[in-house]
Structure 1
Amino acid sequence: MTYSLLNLAFLVPAAVLALVATLRVPHRRRFLRGLGLTLLVVLVLTAIFDNVMIGIGLVAYEREHLSGVFIGIAPIEDFSYAVFAAVVLPSLWSLLRPSRRRPRAHA
């Protein structure tokens, strides 16, 4: 089994959760902008720190399980946990937080 195939088991449900969250939030554009900005920041930080960790030998991968696509010396598969976290956490946050509707005054 390749790392990419294993990643799909987590990234497909994450995408579905993000879609549900996007459809249910009242301000879709703001949610998507925030999600995109979060993803961008997390991916940049992941690119920096993963390359350092791989470069100093803290992490190693079996080449036969990799797709062969790299960002620096970090395999593209190494970014899946960052994508998962950047998509799932804001999606869950938006779906699980209480409604901001004010209760009606009863006359």
Structure 2
Amino acid sequence: MTYALICLPFLAATAAVTALSARRPHFGPRMAASAAAAVLLLALTAVFDNAMIAAGLFTYPETHLLGLKIGRAPIEDFAYPLCAAFAVPAVFVLLPERRRA
């Protein structure tokens, strides 16, 4: 199995949860904030993944990669921060509101 296939369920779940949250208040501003967070997380991923790969902390078998890279980091590494930036806020707004005691 390739890393891209492993990422697909996470990307699909993120798209589904984000779409479900579209009817909640402040969807537009939340998407803008998620996009800003995604840019930051993707930049941090690029810097730190490249540093860790260059330091030899881990490697990826080339047979399981798409071949696209940002520096030394495979493009598949960037799916998870992208999912986090959009899925976490979407799940948060979909959770039932907790009552204060």
Give the Cα separation in 1 of the matches to 2:78 and 2:12: 15
- 1:1-107 equivalences in 2 (<5 Å): 1-21=1-21, 23-96=22-95, 98=97
Greater C-alpha Rg: 1
Is the partner of 2:97 in helix, strand or coil? coil
Give the Cα separation in 1 of the matches to 2:50 and 2:96: 35
Give the Cα separation in 1 of the matches to 2:74 and 2:32: 27
Give the drift of 1:24. Answer: 2.2
Is the partner of 2:25 in helix, strand or coil? coil
Gap regions ≥5 residues in structure 2: none
Equivalent residue number for residue 103 of structure 1:
none
Give, as a single letter, the amino acid of the residue that structure 2 aligns with 1:80.
Answer: A
Give, as a single letter, the amino acid of the residue that structure 2 aligns with 1:2.
Answer: T
Gap regions ≥5 residues in structure 1: 100-107
Give the Cα separation in 2 of the matches to 1:89 and 1:29: 15
Give the Cα separation in 1 of the matches to 2:14 and 2:28: 19
Q: Point out 4+ residue stretches in structure 1 off by more than 6 angstroms.
A: none
Give the Cα separation in 2 of the matches to 1:29 and 1:46: 25
Give the Cα separation in 2 of the matches to 1:97 and 1:76: 35
Calculate the aligned-residue CA RMSD, in Å: 1.4
Which string of whole-angstrom CA distances, capped at 9 and with x for unpartnered residues, describes residues 14-61 of structure 1?
11111111x222122211111111111111111111110111011210
Percent of aligned positions with the same letter in both sequences?
41
Give the Cα separation in 1 of the matches to 2:89 and 2:96: 11
Is the partner of 1:77 in helix, strand or coil? helix
TM-score (norm 1): 0.84
